[in-house]
Amino acid sequence: MHLVALGDSIPFAGHFCPGCTGFVAQYGSFLQKRTGRPVLVSNRSRDDGAQMQDIEIQLTSDANLRAKLAAADVVLASVGFNDMLPNWGVGCPGDMGSDAAGYIAWALTTTPECLTPMYDHFAAEYDTIFSAITDLRAGKPTLFAVINLHDANLGGADIVNANVTKDALAGMARWMIAQYDRWNAMECTKAKQHRLECIDVYHAFNGPEGDQVAGANVIDGVHPSQAGHDVITALLAKLDTKAIAP
């Protein structure tokens, strides 16, 4: 059995979490015990800040990755972490400024409606990426899963230390939670449409309301610690493996 992981650096482990056993490797070991079948793990996630467009290009141009996906019984994806939070203000007026205080001031003037073009843009990117993954399997029995996005910005030093009022900080926290709620709902809807299971890392790391700092689940404020990798593995272990049973 072949397990392939692809996407950004969240599944990478390696130098982001020295000495850790990442959730991709852990899940491969779990599947081997669960199914009784040898599992070959290919972790093709990236450590270069890859955004969704980069993953899309890779899926169309990397012949080696395409061959691995075509032969994969299990596909794990992590896509969108480096795109999350609008960094250009599509559809929303105002100047985002050059520091955290300016960004906070801009964010608090936005509306759900003016942010919609940004969400529509990335929803279309998910359509393209998820279709590319599933099409390569051409209907063969496969377990597809994508992990959604934990919030590594909540409680971040740049925001917490910004020269703004307490009310503005509280407003920014509410705004950020609303964006992660909206993004993850969009991502999981798209995953379901393309037969991918959506693994809710967001609420596992940030709490049921999305209002908790990821804390011990991340090692550098962003990437999973060993504890974080263990949490994600436990979520993956709940997936139904009947599609890949002997």
pLDDT for 119 equals 94
Kindly state the DSSP code that residue 48 receives in the 8-state scheme.
Answer: S
* Averaged pLDDT score across all residues of the chain: 95
**Count of domains forming the chain:** 1
Instruction: Assess whether pLDDT exceeds 60 at residue 69.
Output: yes
DSSP per residue, 76-108: EEE-STTT-S-SS-TT--S---SSHHHHHHHHT
pTM confidence score:
0.95
Q: Are strands 74-78 and 143-147 parallel, antiparallel or unpaired?
A: parallel
Q: Tokens for 187? A: 């991502």
pLDDT for 216 equals 97
User: What is the Cα–Cα distance from 174 to 159, expressed in whole angstroms?
Assistant: 13
Residue 167 belongs to some domain of the structure: no
pLDDT for 88 equals 59
Instruction: Assess whether pLDDT exceeds 60 at residue 89.
Output: no
Residue 60 belongs to some domain of the structure: yes
Query: Is 3 strand, coil or helix?
Result: strand
| Beta carbons within 10 angstroms of residue 126's beta carbon | 24
Residue 37 belongs to some domain of the structure: yes
Residue 46 belongs to some domain of the structure: yes
User: What Rg do the C-alpha atoms of the chain give, in angstroms?
Assistant: 18
Give the structural domain span for 39.
Answer: 2-86+121-153+187-244
Query: Is 206 strand, coil or helix?
Result: helix
Residue 39 belongs to some domain of the structure: yes
| Beta carbons within 10 angstroms of residue 189's beta carbon | 12
Residue 226 belongs to some domain of the structure: yes
Size (the chain), residues: 246
User: What is the Cα–Cα distance from 138 to 45, expressed in whole angstroms?
Assistant: 22
Instruction: Assess whether pLDDT exceeds 60 at residue 77.
Output: yes
Query: Is 118 strand, coil or helix?
Result: helix
pLDDT for 86 equals 72
Residue 140 maps to which CATH number? 3.40.50.1110
Contact 97, 165 (CB under 8 A): no
Query: HEC profile for 121-167?
Result: HHHHHHHHHHHHHHHCCCCCCCEEEEECCCCCCCCCHHHHCCCCCHH
Per-residue pLDDT reduced to its tens digit, 172-220: 999 999 999 999 999 999 999 999 999 999 999 999 999 999 999 999 9
Among 8-17, 108-117, 227-236, the minimum mean pLDDT is found in 108-117
pLDDT for 91 equals 74
Among 53-67, 82-96, 127-141, 206-220, the minimum mean pLDDT is found in 82-96
pLDDT for 55 equals 98
Instruction: Assess whether pLDDT exceeds 70 at residue 228.
Output: yes
Contact 124, 107 (CB under 8 A): no
Kindly state the DSSP code that residue 49 receives in the 8-state scheme.
Answer: -
pLDDT-derived band at 97, boundaries 50, 70, 90: confident
Residue 191 belongs to some domain of the structure: yes
User: What is the Cα–Cα distance from 185 to 104, expressed in whole angstroms?
Assistant: 23
Q: Tokens for 92? A: 């929303």
Residue 208 belongs to some domain of the structure: yes
45 strand-pairing partners = 7
